[in-house]
Amino acid sequence: MSSLVVRNIGELLTNDPTIGESPMGRRFNAAVVIDGGVVAWIGESAKAPAADSVIDAGGGAVLPGFVDSHTHLIFAGERSAEFEARMASVAYDGGGIWSTVKATRAASSEFLRRRSQRLRGEMLCQGTTTIEVKSGYELTVAGEQRLVEIASELSDEVTFLGAHTVPEEYASDRDGYIELVAGAMLDACSSHARWADVFCEGVAFSVDESRYVLGAAAQKGLGLRVHGNQLAHSGGIALAVEMEAASVDHCTHYTKDDVTLLTDSDVVASLLPAAEFSTRSPYPNARELLDAGVTVALATDCNPGTAFVTSMPFVVALAVREMSMTVDEALWAATLGGARALRRSDVGYLGLGACGDLMVLDAPRAAHVAYRPGSSLVQHVVRDGVATSFEESVSW
């Protein structure tokens, strides 16, 4: 495997306080060498050792690749009419999630593979180097197995989400569906999945139902994740803490007790503000969570219904503008925070031995991610030490 040096970095964020200014591990006029796919050297640009290939950052900023710890990337169809109606405050019943389930069931594996790879490509060119991918749009044993298999071609972070919603054919037999999810469906999916997730919400699964599914998944050796407290005080946060889940995602509604539970646990609170943006809903109070010492991650929640968003830069901009996170807090939550939500110790930062995953911005400071929302600032993305380059920039 060849080596790569990224030199002439104006501002480098490493998220490693042993390497630079705390807490972001910030350095200036720096270089990074990646060898064998991992970070091998960080220091002054003028002193950088030679490598097989060179990226001249031209004074641009470099930061770790984004870690998007919550996506529903594999689906067919789209729901723009639902979005338009919601924005116009007009009643609309296009079937919601069920319409996506029907379209996904009818799609070929080849189509699902191409569509999800295309979305994965959109993410990569916006700086995202690690993604989590959930199933959850077929809700049959064979269908969910197909989705986790396709997901495993995109990422090591595959999540089985059979408990996404109760499918129509089980409308009069909820308990039968929950038995199926925790039994045959879990059996069929567990070898391709690292995680299991449940949609613990009044409109989906109760706390007891969610606990039952998560307990079965834990027995199969899967790590746990929870969609919780998106629409109301669902009890999802307390359940995630009780079950020692890696992450509870959304956390739009919570109580003081929930905050205490999170602070005293290893559960990451993953905030998904693109969902609030796309549904015109109040954002979670990130400030209160951060001030209490909760570990916060940011992710896209990319899905066709409530957040058809692949851009982590957009999510960072929302977190800063709408959730009172500082730029540094948002960049940390979108990188190392995401890694914590996936219990990964090799991504989300640029310390020695970390994965060689980074982005070079066509901007002198990393703050431009939030400062210039909507602009394509990512000029090079390096993943496992392999570079993908976009347009040339002027020097900063």
270 φ/ψ angles, rounded to the nearest 5 degrees: -95, 120
Residues 296-315 that bind Zn ion (CB under 5 A): 301
In the complex, the smallest distance separating the C-beta of residue 213 from Zn ion, rounded to whole angstroms, is: 16
CB of 11 or CB of 301, closer to Zn ion: 301
CB of 122 or CB of 257, closer to Zn ion: 122
Residue with smallest beta-carbon separation from Zn ion = 301
CB of 39 or CB of 224, closer to Zn ion: 224
Residues 174-213 that bind Zn ion (CB under 5 A): none
| Interior/surface letters 302-319, b for 16+ CB within 10 angstroms, e for the rest | bbbbbbbbbbbbbbbbbb
In the complex, the smallest distance separating the C-beta of residue 150 from Zn ion, rounded to whole angstroms, is: 17
In the complex, the smallest distance separating the C-beta of residue 199 from Zn ion, rounded to whole angstroms, is: 8
CB of 68 or CB of 301, closer to Zn ion: 301
Place of tokens 């790590």: 223
In the complex, the smallest distance separating the C-beta of residue 135 from Zn ion, rounded to whole angstroms, is: 12
Closest Cα partner for 284 from 255, 332, 318, 323? Answer: 323
The three-class DSSP label of residue 281 is coil
The token pair at 191 is 């070898």
Burial of 105 (0-12, 13-18, 19+ CB in 10 A): middle
* Number of residues counted as binding Zn ion (CB under 5 A): 1
55 φ/ψ angles, rounded to the nearest 5 degrees: -115, 125
What's 254's DSSP letter? -
In the complex, the smallest distance separating the C-beta of residue 108 from Zn ion, rounded to whole angstroms, is: 24
CB of 276 or CB of 301, closer to Zn ion: 301
The token pair at 226 is 């929870």
In the complex, the smallest distance separating the C-beta of residue 299 from Zn ion, rounded to whole angstroms, is: 9
Query: Could you tell me where the DSSP H helices lie in the chain?
Result: 80-87, 97-106, 109-124, 141-154, 174-180, 186-189, 207-219, 236-242, 256-263, 273-279, 286-291, 312-322, 327-334, 336-341, 368-371
Q: Measuring CA to CA, how many Å separate 193 from each of 69, 162, 212, 222, 283?
A: 14, 12, 18, 7, 30
Q: What angle do CA 116, 95, 179 make, to 5 degrees?
A: 75
Q: Give yes or no for residue 68 binding Zn ion (CB under 5 A).
A: no
CB of 301 or CB of 362, closer to Zn ion: 301
The piece of 8-16, 188-196, 295-303, 387-395 that touches Zn ion (CB under 5 A) is 295-303
In the complex, the smallest distance separating the C-beta of residue 303 from Zn ion, rounded to whole angstroms, is: 6
CB of 30 or CB of 133, closer to Zn ion: 133
The three-class DSSP label of residue 381 is strand
Query: To 10 degrees, the CA torsion angle through 20, 340, 66, 347?
Result: 70
CB of 150 or CB of 382, closer to Zn ion: 150
CB of 144 or CB of 301, closer to Zn ion: 301
In the complex, the smallest distance separating the C-beta of residue 272 from Zn ion, rounded to whole angstroms, is: 7
Residues 121-140 that bind Zn ion (CB under 5 A): none
Interatomic CA distance for residues 215 and 211, integer angstroms:
6
In the complex, the smallest distance separating the C-beta of residue 11 from Zn ion, rounded to whole angstroms, is: 33
Residues that bind Zn ion (CB under 5 A): 301
